[in-house]
Amino acid sequence: MRNQLFITIISIILAAKVQVRSASPQFEVRVFADLGGNATLPCQLPSKDTMFFGATGIRVKWTKVAEDEAFNEDVLLSMGFHKKTFGSFEDRVSIVNSDSDDGSILITNIAMQDAGKYQCELINGMTDVVQEVHLEVQGGLKDGVVFPYHLRVGRYNMNFTNAVRACLEQDAVVASSDQLLDAWRGGLDWCNAGWLSDGSVRYPITKPREPCGGAKNGPGLRSYGLQNRRSLFDVFCFSSALKGTFYWLVQPERLTFAEAVQACLDDGAQIAKVGHIFSAWKLEGYDRCDAGWLADGSVRYPISRPRKNCSPTESAVRFVGFPDKTQKSFGVYCYKAEQ
């Protein structure tokens, strides 16, 4: 209750307009970080303003800024000894110098989605200093995307040979252990074990919890080691950059699966595969809040800008399921290969 009251009070204080006595000019800096590493985003009051501040006086507000203000993300609120982090930044962000007037923050375990523009606001009731920092993330999967896959019949139903075939049918290949490691560093968290190209079976965990290898084990790749290739698991596939166009086919009515396949053919394309939707989402930022048929009979939709009713907490390809193919409840995603 006390923590909630603090959050309410600090939100009101930081959202309120303050009387500016000596506004410092806004400026911008650029910070580079490696995927999976740490980054310090600087924010400090000009020296002439520091005499009025102590450990309990400075108020700091950090925000990750989107093109549309409605999608801005709170990162950190700080007032004296009280601090609160939010969303995907929870437990990953901290004030660098908690006993000074320095509002710089440290972000740990950097993911690709952390890249972007951040705004720092330092407030004391008399002075309001705003600074912008651009964070650029280097390394990782630049020309492809790793995604988990399972068959219509359910999880843990593929031996190694069938796993290879399943990825190929989705215009992908079985991912390597290095590719899965990069995907984990980029934020991939998946609690089902899958085949990798060397015949090993692993799964990536960024948020440890009991059903997924134990809450006390740290983040990382959980490994079953090399397995008998007749054993049954899911698979992690790797899809490279698209060599064509992935798109939502505008139709006046919802379609059955057979109608969806034909609609794409009538448009000079083919019904899109799972590898296509993941590549379009991850590498091209494709965003559409409409569930559509794909070639394997699954229904999915890609969200790169989380919002209410459309994957509100994370950027992801949302999986609706494998519905009855005669069900007339969905649209379709098509793929037109380059000629």
* pLDDT tens for the chain, residues 1 to 339: 555 554 554 454 444 433 333 334 445 688 988 766 788 999 887 654 444 444 446 889 999 998 788 888 999 999 877 889 998 888 889 988 765 678 899 998 777 678 889 999 988 766 778 999 999 876 556 679 999 999 999 999 999 999 999 999 999 999 999 899 999 988 899 999 999 999 999 999 999 999 998 888 889 999 999 999 999 999 999 999 999 999 999 999 999 999 999 999 999 999 999 999 999 999 999 999 999 999 999 999 999 989 988 999 889 999 999 999 999 999 999 999 987
Alpha carbon distance 42, 48 (integer Å): 18
Confidence (pLDDT) at 25? 42
**pTM for the predicted model, two decimal places:** 0.64
Token pair 């019904």 is found at: 271
Contact 330, 323 (CB under 8 A): yes
> What span, in angstroms and rounded, lies between the C-alpha atoms of 192 and 194?
7
Angle (CA) 153-157-158 rounded to 5° is: 125
Interatomic CA distance for residues 173 and 230, integer angstroms: 19
By CB neighbour count within 10 A (0-12 exposed, 13-18 middle, 19+ buried), where does 255 fall?
buried
Please spell the DSSP secondary structure of 296-333, one letter per residue: TS-EEEEESS-BTTB-TT--EEEEEE---TT---BEEE
Angle at 176 between CA 168 and CA 219, to 5 degrees: 125
Distance between CA 308 and CA 313 in Å, rounded? 8
- Rounded CA-CA distance 174/285 in Å is 23
Q: Distance from first CA to last CA of the chain, Å, rounded?
A: 62
Domains defined for the chain, CATH in brackets:
29-41+57-138 (2.60.40.10), 144-239 (3.10.100.10), 241-337 (3.10.100.10)
